Amino acid sequence: MQNLFSPNPNALRKEQFDTLLKTQSVSIEKITSNGQTSSRWYDQSEDEWVVIIEGEATLLFEDGRELPLQKGEHLYIPKNTKHKVTYTASPTIWLAVHFA
């Protein structure tokens, strides 16, 4: 059993994605970031709900909105909403739920 609040020690150099649950209709991931950002736009075919478990991050949306997220804050991102991560604290632990 893993603890959601424990940073992944393997994520110091690159972002770490750990699948916690995967079924046909839902996928739950723990993401550990240490200052990583995304250079490309995410354009996902599934809806996503994210919550910051530890740390903080900033998301940029294609329409120009920039949204900072603090520990405990969560966000619903509808499918096909282009977005990217422009900032993460070290460490930042995300919980991401993808669903159809």
What is the structure's pLDDT at 57? 98
SS3 66: strand
In the prediction, which pLDDT does 5 show? 80
Instruction: Tell me the per-residue pLDDT of 6-56, one tens digit each, with 9 for 90 and over.
Output: 767 766 678 889 999 999 999 999 999 999 999 999 999 999 999 999 999
Judge whether 4 lies within some domain.
no
Read off the pLDDT band of 100 (50, 70, 90): confident
Q: Residue 1 above 70 pLDDT?
A: no
How far apart are alpha carbons 100 and 86 in whole angstroms? 26
Answer whether residue 3 is part of any domain: no
CA 69 to chain centre: 11
- The predicted pLDDT at position 89 comes to 95
Beta strands in 2-64 (DSSP E): 16-22, 26-33, 47-54, 56-61
Write the CATH number for 82: 2.60.120.10
pTM: 0.89
In a domain, 88, yes or no: yes
d(CA 85, CA 63): 14
Structure confidence at residue 13 (pLDDT): 74
Q: Within a domain: residue 42?
A: yes
Domain count, the chain: 1
Q: What is the pLDDT of residue 6?
A: 76
- Give domain status of residue 89, yes or no: yes
Question: Average pLDDT of 54-83?
Answer: 97
In a domain, 34, yes or no: yes
Residue 84: burial class (beta carbons within 10 Å; 0-12, 13-18, 19+)? middle
Answer for the pair 42, 30: CB distance below 8 angstroms, yes or no. no
Range of the domain at 24: 13-99
Residue that is written with structure tokens 């059993």 in the block: 1
